[in-house]
Structure 1
Amino acid sequence: MRLRKKWWARPEMAEDEKSILNPFEQKGKWKEIFGNDHPIHVELGCGKGQFISTLAKENPDINYIAIDLKDEVLVFVLRKINELGLTNVRIIPMFIERIDEIFTENEVSKLYINFCNPWPKASHNKRRLTHPRFLKKYKGFIRPGTEVWFKTDDDDLFAASLDYFNEEGFREMYRTFDLEESGFNENIKTEYEEKFSSFGVKIKFGIFKLQEEQKNDEC
């Protein structure tokens, strides 16, 4: 469903320092933004923030960055983290296509990709956030040994992504084709996940770890 434009969203975000509206100027400066040396974890496509706010509440010694394109969803992330009194989250409105322009080498220690657009047409596959074109971007700023946690309801996207990660030197650490029944107890559900799980849709999930030798090959 297409989101209706909320003209008040950007002004509200602009008044809060947890909204980073100039992320391209912050490359290499994220420790200064957070004011500490804690690890930085990033969610690509955060929706309304249930996932990232839960993580941030449970892990106060980790800094989180939530990225999405739409102010109309990010403003609700901002409200949620403020309601919870969280200081370890920053939100960024931007095209993920430019993700490599806001981080420098080794700035990020973990990536979450939850329910990204599957782009099912073959001519559009390169837009997938797990496609090798994007994985190469991530390898430019994640640390050796960084894990990418990936969830989707789309069978074809998940199957293709298994190959994508392997091709780019990520070791598969965990895989399930039915997260609800897997017994994986570290799972935090997104709003989307709750909705589709209630309809009986099986959620696919994997953890993929960047091998140090692959990171070094990129340098």
Structure 2
Amino acid sequence: MGKNKLKKFADMERMQCVFQFPFAVVKQEGGCPMRGKWNELYFNNDNPIVLELGCGKGEYAVGLAQRFPGKNYIGVDIKGARMWTGAKMATEQGLPNVAFLRTSIELIDNMFAPDEVSEIWITFPDPQMKKVNKRLTSTRFLDNYRNILKDGGLVHLKTDSPFLYTYTHALVEENHLPVEADTDDLYASGLADDILDIKTHYEMQWLQRGLTIKYIRFALPHGVELIEPDIEIEPDTYRSYNRGYIQMPQLMKGEELTNN
């Protein structure tokens, strides 16, 4: 491991806004000690909690926290070296309403209690075109989200991927989930506002390559059995399945695009 990563990990150990609960720690401690107590033990208020899942560098969580001091934001990701960027920004700016949680999204209902979360943002995730159960908007994950969301809590998906957008749209329609906003070209739709206009480093790279940004916001009610849509979707042609290498005419041969 490089010295830069080691320094970032050491920095994060000292940052009060960073919480790290990998599976081994959760198992050893019999659960997350913050579960059900995020507002009480960290934020010291009763404001709504909003999660950004797969937060990467944490730009969206920080941007939302800056704009909306009446809500509490928690960026969640397993990769601490990326998360360091947002955590450093939050620390330097003294933002009291943002935190970062380093853990697997698969453990999310071990980190938060029922009804503890009001909204979930999913920003530019890997579309997982080959593995349905790994898609962050699959029924598997939505069921996990319902374990922590308030009844009718909102899920926001912002993505460059036509594949993931089409899949999520079909899933929402199949299960008759209430849709609040939906567009396959966000910045040409008139929907873009102070919230949606926050752009991460990764999103800017997609926009510079002429891709449109898709957005859907829907409510997730309790007590509804979710089913997967029976649909065949054309894969995204501009990316490899592992998302690490972008295949587009605009790119020079061998050029790579870094993730969020």
Q: TM-score, normalised by structure 1?
A: 0.90
Q: Which of these two proteins has the greater Rg computed from alpha carbons?
A: 2
**Residues 1:28 and 2:36 aligned together:** yes
Distance 1:150 1:27 in 2: 24
Name the structure where helix makes up a greater proportion of residues. Answer: 1
93 and 169 in structure 1: CA distance in 2 versus 1, 3 angstrom threshold: farther
Is 2:208 the counterpart of 1:198? yes
Aligned-partner Cα distance in 2 for 1:198–1:90: 30
| Residue pairs, 1:121-160, within 5 angstroms | 121=130, 124-160=131-167
Q: Write the letter of the residue equivalent to 1:192.
A: Y
Q: How far apart, in 1, do the equivalents of 2:34 and 2:175 lie?
A: 27
8 Å CA contact 2:57–2:82 kept in 1: the answer is yes
2:111 is matched with 102
Larger deviation, residues 148-157 vs 168-177: 168-177
- The TM-score with structure 2 as length reference comes to 0.76
After TM superposition, give the deviation of residue 109 of structure 1 in Å. 0.5
- Give the percent of matched residue pairs that are identical in Structure 1 and Structure 2: 35
Shift of 1:168: 4.9
Letter in 1 for 2:134: R
- Listed one character per residue, the Cα deviations across residues 11-53 of structure 1 (whole Å, up to 9, x for unaligned) are 2111121111247221111111211101100000112122111
Task: Answer yes or no: is the 8 Å Cα contact 2:186–2:192 preserved in 1.
Answer: no
Of 183, 199, 202 in structure 2, the residue corresponding to residue 189 of structure 1 is: 199
Does structure 2 retain, via aligned residues, the 8 Å contact 1:132–1:168?
Answer: no
**Partner residue of 1:73?**
82
Q: Is the 8 A contact 2:65 2:95 kept in 1?
A: yes
1:165 to 156, 167, 172: 172
* DSSP 3-state at the match of 2:19: coil
SS in 2 for 1:41: strand
Whole-angstrom CA distance in 2 between matches of 1:5 and 1:70: 14
The aligned length equals 211
The Cα of 1:217 is off from its aligned counterpart by 5.0
Q: Deviations over 1:130-169 (max 9, x none)?
A: 0000000001110122111101111111111112234455
Q: Secondary structure at the match of 1:92?
A: strand
Secondary structure of residue in 2 paired with 1:197: helix
Q: Answer yes or no: is the 8 Å Cα contact 1:132–1:167 preserved in 2.
A: no
Give the Cα separation in 1 of the matches to 2:142 and 2:91: 32
Q: In structure 1, how many angstroms separate the alpha carbons of the residues matched to 2:146 and 2:176?
A: 10
Q: Deviations over 1:28-82 (max 9, x none)?
A: 1111121110110000011212211111011111100001111111111111112
Listed as ranges, the gaps of 5+ residues in structure 2 are 27-31, 226-260
RMSD: 1.9
